[in-house]
Amino acid sequence: MSQDDRDSTLIQRAIGGDRAALAQLLLLHHDVLQRHIARQLADGPDGVLQVEDILQQTFVRAAHGIRSFEPRRAGSLRSWLKTIATNLIKDARKRRRRERRGPRRSARSPAMSDDGSMALVVERLAADHTPPPQRVQTRETLRKMRAALASLPNDQRDAIERYYILNEPLDQIAAATGRTKGAIRGLCYRARQNLRAIMGGSSLYFSG
């Protein structure tokens, strides 16, 4: 089966709300999209923007918009993802130009930009209320984690990113989102359950 054939089946499932299919779609296009972003950033005016930051933002934007995506021809998903990435790069460069005129701030998510920090996030997620996991060592597991995080419902992804990636305390997350601490714990629990299901063969990191 060609990639376009796999895409066709997975796209229909993803549009219908299948988050595992969505994560698989993102994985199938991970390397092509990563190279596309790297080429664009290499032609840019500076080296501040990170490939993995743009890649993760592209995943999240695609996950948010997949239900309205219309697969008009073979390869249209790949083109759509590249367009999202290109627009994100343009937007990021515009923000940086504005920041140079005012106070300098960083919008990077610290745990998304390199494999070492992402591995720590995987371990934190896996170790929460479960036995100590095996050390995360494979790039494939990290790729699956990025795709799985992007495919979570918005409220679950936000809770996971705030608690496990940005290390915000529960009461701070609750205040920022208008929820109780118990509700945030519930979102994190459901997110871990969904990650376990979406990551499939890598679910040993989320056993228990």
Percent over 90 (pLDDT), the chain: 36
| Pair 38, 55: CB distance under 8 Å | no
Lowest mean pLDDT among 128-137, 143-152, 197-206: 128-137
The residue from 76, 101, 126 where one domain ends is 101
In this prediction, residue 132 carries a pLDDT of 47
As a whole number, the mean pLDDT across the chain is 79
CA distances from 93 to 32, 49, 62, 138, 193 (A): 22, 8, 20, 32, 36
d(CA 138, CA 173): 31
3-state secondary structure of 57: helix
pTM of the model: 0.72
Residue 109 within a domain:
no
The pLDDT value recorded for residue 93 is: 87
In whole angstroms, what is the distance from residue 127 CA to residue 135 CA? 11
pLDDT value for 85: 96
- Which pLDDT score, from 0 to 100, does residue 107 have? 45
pLDDT of residue 172: 94
Total domain count, the chain: 2
Structure tokens at 43: 């032609």
- Which residue shows structure tokens 């106070």? 103
User: What confidence score (pLDDT) does residue 75 get?
Assistant: 85
Q: Is residue 148 predicted with pLDDT exceeding 60? A: yes
Per-residue pLDDT tens for 115-140?
A: 555 666 666 666 655 544 555 556 77
What is the pLDDT at residue 174? Answer: 95
pLDDT, position 127? 60
pLDDT at 108 over 50: no
* 8 A C-beta contact, residue 168 and residue 161: no
Q: What pLDDT is recorded for position 184?
A: 95
Residue 39 sits in which domain range? 3-101
Contacts 24+ apart (CB under 8 A), 79-83: 81/29, 81/33, 82/33, 82/36
110 closest CA partner among 120, 100, 102, 95 = 120
- Nearest of 165, 152, 122 to residue 140 by alpha carbon: 122
Q: Is the per-residue pLDDT at 142 higher than 70?
A: yes
Q: Based on the domain organization, do 94 and 137 belong to the same domain?
A: no
- Note the pLDDT tens digit of each residue in 3-56: 566 678 889 999 999 988 899 899 889 999 999 999 998 876 655 678 888 998
Query: Do 137 and 176 have their domain in common?
Result: yes
Domain boundary among 37, 66, 101: 101
22 and 83 both lie in a single domain: yes
Residue 26 to residue 74: CA distance in whole angstroms: 16
CATH number at residue 29: 1.10.1740.10
